[in-house]
Structure 1
Amino acid sequence: MFKKLLIISLISISSFTFAQEYEFGEVSKDELLETVYDKDTSANAAVLYKSQKTFFSHEGQVLVNTEIYMRIKIYNQKGFDYATQEINLFKTRNSKEKIYKIKGITYNLENGAIQESKLDKDRIFENEFSYNINQIKFTMPNVKEGSVIEFKYLLTSPFYSNIDELVFQYDIPINKLDVEIRTPRVLEFKKTPKGFLSFSPIRTSKVDHRLGMDVYIDSYKLNDIPALLEEKYAGNIKNYRAGVMLELVATNFTGQYNPSFAKTWEDVASTIGNSDDYEKELDKSKYVDDFVDEIIGTEADPLKKLQIIFNHVKSEIKWNGNDGKYFQKGMKKALDEHLGNAGDINLTLVAMLRYAGIDAHPVVMSTKDNGVPFFPTVDRLNYVVAYAVINNEKFFLDATDEFSDINLMPTKNYNWQGVYINNNTNTYKLISINKPKQAIGQHQLKASIDVDGTLSGSMKSRYSNHYALEFREDYKNNNESDFIASREDYFYDIEISDYTIENIEKVEGNILESFNFILEDAAEIIGDDIYIEPLLLFKTEENPFKLEERLYPIDFGYSRKDQFYISINIPEGYTIKTNVDNINMKTPNGNAKFVFNTKVIGNTLQISCSKEIVNALVPTNNYKFIKQFYSQIISKGTEKIILTKS
């Protein structure tokens, strides 16, 4: 009996082990028959298995090789996006990462039989994503609801001192993850875990015959990894996903321990500052002399010169969409072609400001879409802006954006700190980036409500700072009729007439918007009573924060305040039967404020309301207060004021 039980146990263990093994080209019917992911039934797709093996080799140069194999189950049409893969390959002027041996198969169940569709080479595309990034993109063929896809490839990188993050989490769940990284014992890497999962590696060592030396082997084996759920105002969600960051801190060749690879931000700034672009090209003022002399003329006021030069660079060199902390074309070519990357534009701006006698220098940073650098390194910085000081006042400028202004940069730039580079005084350091001024939206609505529930009237609005910047960008991206249609939709399907905008063609100052409108069925009629929602066109219907708990901070991008002044004429013969209560609330730390007041003067109902976010970045422990704050706003906006016949 014992022997029989032992055999059954061994068979069970063997079957379990086999079920957990994943080999390319061997997909089971059970996987194809799966209709939901049992550990997260809301998932549109799931990574059934991911294997990543990273190792070093020496083929004339030191290379880091990474073998990737992934198997993904597609449950519904919303999961089709995961059939498209984008792989970024880093490059410099002299070296670049490469990809080899891309293979992929899509599996479907047709009439009980497994059908395979292989990835053709003509479905694999390469393009220049940015100055430092080439992108490989492919879409798996014949993807349907229920498909299983798998693919594998080999990446090689000559940048052995900057190994990519080991990614342990996506926005879909992962069933099984198997990651192994082998590093030579002569290279000391600091491995920094990130995210909110608990994990640790199993470390062993052995001789790697590809290198002919000892290597450390760190193995990470994880199961049932939940999806990283994204909500609004998350900044870059990749900052919070589970993984490991690798930093080369020392070498130990022939017994000589050398910690020189461990960098500070001062080292990083100095390295960038001593590059040819910053040490030589930036000081070639002969390319900008004539431009600057012509545009500033006899102007002596430094602030006015700053504004003139800033506006000139924005109009003369259009951004090609590429980030960059170095020149892509160079100053002369960018000016001649009127086109360049972020480095071309903002380094040219620095050069022009310097020639005009303004104390100006580059500040290098990592934008929000690039993520927060977890340790000092040159390669994790992707952008540069201009920084000027006049009479001890600091100014940050980004001339890539048509509608940016002095100390009003695109929100992507307010991510972290900046790396200040001053070659003239050999000053290299981290500096704080000025927070943008609060964006303020002011709205005045005057309207009348008819006995049939129709609301008609006029509205005037004023938008400042980032509200104005975003308004200008939205307006530019539409023709006027489409833009007005989008405003009608935004304000709950009103009908707009006599629409005007002031200051839309300028790049600084407030936007003034005004129009007349009609909104049918704005109120509910029940018997002799009219039910009105007090905030009318300004109500908030949906809470942007839905998670019960949130593990990462809220990033609103910039401080904001919205003020509403509403005046509603009550129909003749009606009085207010039921009003709503006033409210004056704020979160415990005072970062979010909401004020709502109503009063009646004659036959006019007057409502004043304001909501404000003081600090753009809200820590995790205040999440529940912000969620409740928005719940209160929604509740107040949907309460009913009841008008009844006198």
Structure 2
Amino acid sequence: MKLNIVLFLLFLSPICFAQESYNSETFDVKLEDIRARGFSKDSSANAIVIYEQGSSYVDPNDYDLRTEIKRKIKLINKEGFDNANITIYLYKSKDSWEKVENIKASTHNEIAGKIVKSQILQKDIFTEDYDAHYTLTKFTLPNLKEGSVITYSYTIISPFMFKYHGWNFQSHIPKIYSEYKENIPGNWLYNVKLVGEQKLANHTSEIKKKCLEMGNGASADCGINIYAMRDIPAFIEEDYMTTKNNYLARLEYELKTFRGMDGTIKDYTKTWKDVDKEFKTEKEIGRQLRKSVNLEDLLPPEIINETNALKKAQAIYTYIQNNYTWNGDYRIFTDASIKDLIKTHSGNVSSINILLHNVLKEAKFDAKPVLISTRNNGFPTTIYPVISDFNYLITQVIINGETYFLDATDRFLSFGGIPFRCLNGQGRLLDFKNGSQWIDITPKTSTSIQYAADLTLNNDTSISGTIKSRNTGYKAINSKKNYYPNPNSYIDKLENQYPNLEIENHSILSEGKTSEDFIESYNVKLEFDNPEAKNLYLNPFISKFFTTNPFKLQERSYPIDFGYSATYFYSFKLNFDNTKFQILENPESKTLAIPNNKGLLIFSSQTFDNHIQLFIRINLSESLYPEEYYPYLKEFMNSVVHIQNNSLFLIQRK
């Protein structure tokens, strides 16, 4: 018996090894690539990139930028077949455009122990317009089967040297090997940025003499760099993150300077000092920011005549907020002028907030514009100016030594608040006198949910009482946006949070849409599922802060970005007649902390003669947690969800 087991294991080992024996060194497809059955480093993967290579260089004859791409992908199962749908984005301007040539694509399957190739036909390659800046070339690999290996290659020809081809090492599926080769003549100087947390497995550098020669005898040397990564995990998006482009492992290029063969030099990457000077005279922002406005034509007399500085600024903000409508456009540059906005009462982000800025300036306030890149747009480059990184503009005003950030596009914001979409780290304050600077735009106001239930267990086993809640900060904004458009729908959703719950006498105690908080009170009545039973089970969490754990990954390679710190507090009191009922079991209290005082969970449950009392406090004291805190946050949220879903009181009739 023992001998048979040993022989079986010896026989099994090569088979298991073969399942992982991928040829990740070359573009060529081997039988072991097709015969491999999965990927042990990511058992959930439906496809993997076995090998990919990119190479960019300036053609010595046509002097255009060429990028050759090769990619070999294993389709593990049918769910991975989407990776055989290939889309190539080709950039275009008014009079120039990129094109793609030499498309070759094949599907490789094993038949009777041999590799059989199914090649794509030219008629199955399609081109379509995408938007004003891109056209698309698309094709789908043929004859797909579970276990197929697909290969494709092509060359992009580009006249745009300012857009040197970047390279994504990481994607939505894992990669075994990814390599990129840059070949850049010395005439072009680029800022090269490696983004993401993944480390290079290899980086080599060399100089090639006279790689580019001109007809007049002039020549340039080339800097050749090869970057490579191995065993790159798939990037899986999860809650509480900004755009994935902030974290995907990749190379980015920004043209800094061009040096012509005739000795001319043109700088593309400028300093912020240069940019500040240009903004002063720039048509779409600089001139608009300096335009004077007639307060008497825009504002009611009571606002103009207000003598309290803070009240006057608040009134100006509210007036712009309520009388001008955001059209949903995020751009900071626009052909629409302040004059057009005043006429139509509708405009994009920059026009509305520039108008707010100009009115505040005209009213003698210290107001300045702030450029922002929103959470979905990505982090702006801070080392040097990249104006295209910004897509949003807000206004800063200083009153009595206090700094306020203002955005008049959202009618639910209170004075000094900016939308959640803007919480992306830093903004660039434009100061045309003293020079622009980076500033922190992290919200200073607190965000919290406070929820209190004071209930009574009646002799007929129904439960009735009052619930009060108060939300502040961004939780208040969310509640206001849910309530004011349709109060009846809002109440229906409250009732649906808990089975057999009825709500009466719902009232809002806060001041209105722009109040800094959202306070509500209502009466409730609820019934047990089996009111005649001797033993009654009650979950005291009528409202839950987190119904499921948002953190499900084994590990996370990017930060946890809540946008703001927050506190959650829930209290529950149930009064009862101790001659009719007794409490047999109540939930166990628990305390859990995130290391370095970054968060705290306190849960307490107590039973008295004629009432029971429970409370939970959740404190997430940071808006941003580095990825090393992920295991602690995952455990923390597991505890929060478990407490809310599984805390039960066992109540028995006497």
Q: Pick closer, same or farther for the CA change 1:80–1:516 going to 2, 3 Å.
A: farther
2:571 counterpart residue number: 565
Q: In 2 relative to 1, CA 41–624 (structure 1 residues): closer, same or farther, beyond 3 Å?
A: closer
Measured after TM superposition, the shift of residue 453 of structure 1 is 8.8
1:291-326 CA-to-partner distances (Å, cap 9, x unmatched) read: 246783423333233233333333444333332232
1:162-194 CA distances to partner (integer Å, 9 max, x unpaired)? 646432111321244232222221233343323
Equivalent residue, structure 2, for 1:197: 198
Q: Are residues 1:400 and 2:409 paired?
A: yes
Q: What secondary structure is seen at the aligned counterpart in 2 of 1:470?
A: helix
Residue equivalent to 1:304: 311
Q: What is the alpha-carbon distance in structure 1 between the residues aligned to residue 507 and residue 64 of structure 2?
A: 58
Return the alpha-carbon distance in structure 1 between the equivalents of residues 260 and 56 of structure 2: 21
Q: d(CA) in 1 for partners of 2:463 and 2:79?
A: 39
CA 1:622–1:176 in structure 2 vs 1: closer, same or farther (change >3 Å)? closer
Q: Are residues 185 and 494 of structure 1, via their aligned partners in 2, closer, same or farther at CA, if it must alter by over 3 Å?
A: farther
* Aligned with residue 391 of structure 2, among 378, 382, 386: 382
Distance 1:186 1:494, change over 3 A: farther
Change (3 A) 1:509 1:87: farther
Name the structure 1 match of 2:596: 589
Which stretch of the first structure deviates more once superposed, 496-505 or 354-363? 496-505
Instruction: Say if 1:453 and 1:523, in contact at 8 Å, map to a contact too.
Output: no
CA distance in structure 2 between the partners assigned to 1:153 and 1:582 by the alignment: 62
Where 1:280 maps in the other structure, the secondary structure is: helix
Relative to the length of structure 2, the TM-score reads 0.78
The 5 Å alignment of 1:404-415 reads: 404-415=413-424
* Structure 1 residue 153, shift from structure 2 partner: 7.0
Q: Deviations over 1:239-259 (max 9, x none)?
A: 222122334455555697979
2:329 is aligned to 322
Aligned runs of 1:71-220 on 2, under 5 Å?
124-127=128-131, 146=146, 160-161=161-162, 163=164, 165-199=166-200, 200-206=202-208, 207-209=210-212, 213-220=220-227
Deviation at 1:221, TM superposition (A): 3.7
Cα shift at 1:42: 0.3
Q: Which whole-Å CA distance do the structure 2 matches of 1:376 and 1:294 have between them?
A: 45
Per the alignment, residue 351 of structure 1 pairs with 358
Give how far 1:344 is off: 2.2
Q: Aligned letter for 2:45?
A: A
What SS class does the counterpart of residue 558 from structure 2 fall into? coil
1:227 and 2:252 aligned:
no
Q: 144-153 or 529-538, which moves further after superposition?
A: 144-153
What is the deviation of 1:124?
3.4
Stretch of structure 1 that moved more, 587-596 or 201-210: 201-210
**What is the 5 A alignment of 1:208-287?**
208-209=211-212, 213-249=220-256, 263-286=270-293
Residue 430 of structure 1 aligns with which residue?
Answer: 438
Give the superposition deviation at 1:376: 1.8
Q: Find the aligned partners of 2:540 and 2:318 in 1 and give their Cα distance.
A: 43
Correspondence for 2:619 among 606, 612, 615? 612
Residues 438 and 77 from structure 1, CA distance in 2 versus in 1: closer, same or farther, beyond 3 angstroms?
Answer: farther
1:419 maps to what in 2? Answer: 428
Judged with a 3 Å threshold, the aligned counterparts in structure 2 of structure 1 residues 316 and 327 are, in CA distance, closer, same or farther, namely: farther
Residue in 2 aligned with 1:643?
651
Q: What SS class does the counterpart of residue 220 from structure 1 fall into?
A: strand
Contact 1:403–1:507, Cα closer than 8 Å, also in 2 = yes
| Distance across 1 between alignment mates of 2:486 and 2:110 | 48
Residue 632 of structure 2 is matched in structure 1 by 625
Amino acid at match of 1:623: Y
Aligned residues: 618
1:466, 1:81 → 2: CA distance? Answer: 38
Decide whether the 8 Å contact of 2:67 with 2:157 is kept in 1. yes
Equivalent position to 1:467, from 457, 471, 475: 475
- Alpha-carbon distance, 1:604 to partner: 1.8
Judging changes above 3 Å, is the alpha-carbon distance between structure 1 residues 592 and 98 closer, same or farther for their aligned structure 2 residues? same
Paired with 2:598 and 2:530, the residues of 1 have a C-alpha distance of 34
Which structure would you say has the larger Rg? 2
Matches within 5 A, 1:490-639: 491-493=497-499, 495-498=501-504, 500=506, 502=508, 506-516=513-523, 529-538=535-544, 540=546, 542-570=548-576, 573-637=580-644, 638-639=646-647
CA RMSD of aligned residues (A): 4.6
CA deviations 1:385-413 (Å, max 9, x no partner) are 11111222111112233323333212221
Corresponding residue for residue 340 of structure 1: 347
C-alpha deviation, 1:645, in angstroms: 4.5
CA distance in 2, matches of 1:59, 1:305: 66
Query: Which residue identity lines up with residue 173 of structure 2 in the other structure?
Result: I
Query: What secondary structure is seen at the aligned counterpart in 2 of 1:389?
Result: strand
* 554-563 or 303-312: bigger deviation: 303-312
1:13 aligned partner: none
Following TM superposition, by how much is the alpha carbon of 1:126 offset from its aligned partner in structure 2, in angstroms? 1.7
- TM-score normalized with structure 1 length: 0.79
CA contact (8 A) 1:472 1:504 kept: no
- The Cα of 1:286 is off from its aligned counterpart by 4.7
Distance 2:468 2:95 in 1: 56
Change (3 A) 1:341 1:539: closer
- Aligned partner of 1:4 in structure 2 is none
Contact kept in structure 2, 1:266 and 1:430, CA below 8 Å: no
Among the aligned pairs, what percent are the same residue? 26
Q: Which residue of 1 aligns with 2:42?
A: 40
* Alignment check: 8 A CA contact 1:522 1:532 kept: no
List per-residue Cα deviations over 1:550-583 (Å, max 9, x = no partner): 4332211111111112122457633222334444
Distance 1:383-1:451 versus aligned 2 partners, 3 A rule:
same
Shift of 1:597: 2.5
CA contact (8 A) 1:53 1:67 kept: yes
For the residues of structure 2 that align with 1:535 and 1:179, how far apart are their CA atoms? 54
Check if 1:443 corresponds to 2:451: yes
Q: Is the 8 A contact 2:125 2:138 kept in 1?
A: no
Aligned mates of 2:79, 2:395 — CA distance in 1 = 42
